Amino acid sequence: MTNAKPIIIAGGGIGGLAAARMLAIKGRRSIVLEQAPEFAEIGAGIQLGPNTHRMFDRLQVTKAMHDIAHFPENIIMMDSLTGDEVLRMPLGRKLEFHFGKPYAVIHRADLHTVLFEACKGMDEIDLRTSSGVSGYTDHGDGVSVELENGETVEGAALIGADGLWSKIRSKIIGDGDPIVSGHIAYRAVLPIDDVPPELDKWMEDVVLWAGPRNHLVHYKLRRGELFNIVAVFHSQKYVEGWDEYGDPAELYEHFKDTRPEVHALLKKIDVWKMWVLCDRVPVKEWTQNRVTLISDAAHPMLQYLAAGAGMAMEDSVCLVDLLEEYDGDIVRAFADYPGKRYMRTGRVQLTARFYGDIYHAEGVTRELRNLLLGGEKEGNPYAGVEWLYGKNTGLPGGV
């Protein structure tokens, strides 16, 4: 898969670095253009299903990821009004035996750092900061990418990994602004020794407290040294970005009727970061000749299914596998790639929306949720996630 011209990747997040890493493993050069002055990631914890661990194997970063991740024992859904346990899915060895790979949680910045360090050590990857993309031209046999600083970068192709507000997507699809969900997420990380004793019984679990028009998630991070907290509630407020400061008083007001365990945790945090949750309608085409999209640029999704990082890495592996399958024929590989992915990523997008409704149910809907989910405690605890965590990912070869 050698070629004189590198493939240009717009965006140095998880998807962009995974694409660069996978290309380099296959012997292909790339240039990663990151608009920020350094390669870094914000946010808090993310969950890593078995499908994600298969991508770690392909990206040859499994050991580094496992050294920094935390491996919880259960996923538990609690009713935040009554304190009743609604649903429990065992993780650990039972899940790993079932799917062949484990389930873990990791700080987003740690996952990004592992990928960045892996990319830094490869001669095939040119990592450039302060290189925001303003536009591009597809010449048929190559692309020219224009940067905000006036520079032009030449390459064989362009992969848009530039996120929710992708400039590459706007030219390919042109579907306007993202869809604002009406939900706001507040996030914080607490030193493990500061976790209130009311949470002791759930310290080794991923726990979701589901309430009317709100929910709270908490779990350990960074080998168990930190405690991740994400609180989500309905609001019409709109602020663009992932790193704005939240208002604790607003947060407490939305969770005022929830259980004492929830209050005890919320009161431990003085400084919250917030972001407005957005997604887009699923589409089935996101390639034009030598330009294509991956990750949030192609299929942004709400976080309720905890699948975004996995989809980004699956995209990268799928795209590079197709380049190898078609002997480096970029146009053919790029054209075939969305068809391998859109049904899976679209299902994640739509299921994530549905999960948001389930988590935030109120009134009779909430009671029915508890009754129906509670009835699933017998039988296969993984039946609802077989499609997501199993091997039928839509990747070539069913990886």
On whether the CB atoms of residues 22 and 173 are closer than 8 A, the answer is: no
How many Å apart are CA 100 and CA 294, to the nearest integer? 26
What pLDDT, in 10s, does the model give residues 273-322?
888 899 999 999 999 999 999 999 999 999 999 999 999 999 999 999 99
Token pair for residue 39? 């390669």
Q: Is the pLDDT of residue 242 over 90?
A: no
The CA–CA distances, whole Å, from 209 to 28, 78, 157, 215, 358 equal: 46, 5, 45, 5, 12
| Amino acid identity for residue 235 in this structure | S
* CA 77 from centre of chain: 21
pLDDT, residue 287, reads 98
Place of tokens 């949030």: 296
Compute the average pLDDT of residues 126-137.
Answer: 97
pLDDT, residue 84, reads 95
Nearest to 291 by CA among 331, 345, 318, 328: 331
How many Å apart are CA 322 and CA 297, to the nearest integer? 19
pLDDT, residue 2, reads 52
β-strand pairing of 143-147 with 133-138: antiparallel
pLDDT, residue 391, reads 81
How many Å apart are CA 389 and CA 52, to the nearest integer? 8
Q: Quickly state the pLDDT bin for 241 (edges 50, 70, 90).
A: low
Place of tokens 């009317």: 212
pLDDT, residue 394, reads 53
pLDDT, residue 6, reads 98
Q: What is the mean pLDDT of the chain?
A: 92
Q: Is the pLDDT of residue 41 over 90?
A: no
pLDDT, residue 245, reads 79
How many Å apart are CA 331 and CA 141, to the nearest integer? 9
Nearest to 318 by CA among 297, 301, 299, 294: 294
Domain 7-177+286-394 has CATH 3.50.50.60: yes
Q: Is the pLDDT of residue 244 over 80?
A: no
3-state secondary structure of 299: coil
What pLDDT, in 10s, does the model give residues 336-395?
999 999 999 999 999 999 999 999 999 999 999 999 887 655 678 999 899 999 986 555
Report the chain's C-alpha Rg in angstroms: 21
Which residue would you say has higher pLDDT here, 376 or 39? Answer: 39
Please report, for the chain, the start and end positions of each structural domain, with discontinuous segments joined by +. 7-177+286-394
Q: Quickly state the pLDDT bin for 399 (edges 50, 70, 90).
A: very low
In sequence order, what are the residues at sequence separation of 6 or more whose Cβ sits closer than 8 angstroms to the Cβ of residue 38?
Answer: 129
Q: Quickly state the pLDDT bin for 45 (edges 50, 70, 90).
A: confident
Q: Quickly state the pLDDT bin for 37 (edges 50, 70, 90).
A: very high
3-state secondary structure of 262: helix
Helices (H), 122-200: 167-172
β-strand pairing of 179-191 with 273-279: antiparallel
Place of tokens 């969900």: 181
User: 9-23, 30-44, 314-328: which has the minimum mean pLDDT?
Assistant: 30-44
User: 47-51, 80-84, 185-189: which has the minimum mean pLDDT?
Assistant: 185-189
Nearest to 22 by CA among 318, 256, 332: 318
What pLDDT, in 10s, does the model give residues 94-114?
999 999 999 999 999 999 999
Q: Is the pLDDT of residue 75 over 80?
A: yes
pLDDT, residue 44, reads 77
Q: How crowded is residue 150: how many other Cβ atoms within 10 Å of its Cβ?
A: 7
H or E element: which one contains 86? strand 85-90
On whether the CB atoms of residues 223 and 70 are closer than 8 A, the answer is: yes
User: 23-27, 80-84, 377-381, 393-397: which has the minimum mean pLDDT?
Assistant: 393-397
Q: Quickly state the pLDDT bin for 398 (edges 50, 70, 90).
A: very low
Q: Is the pLDDT of residue 3 over 60?
A: no
Token pair for residue 75? 């996923």
Q: What percent of the chain has pLDDT over 70?
A: 94
pLDDT, residue 316, reads 98
On whether the CB atoms of residues 58 and 398 are closer than 8 A, the answer is: no
Compute the average pLDDT of residues 135-141.
Answer: 96
The CA–CA distances, whole Å, from 285 to 317, 326, 335 equal: 18, 19, 9
pLDDT, residue 376, reads 59
Q: Quickly state the pLDDT bin for 397 (edges 50, 70, 90).
A: very low
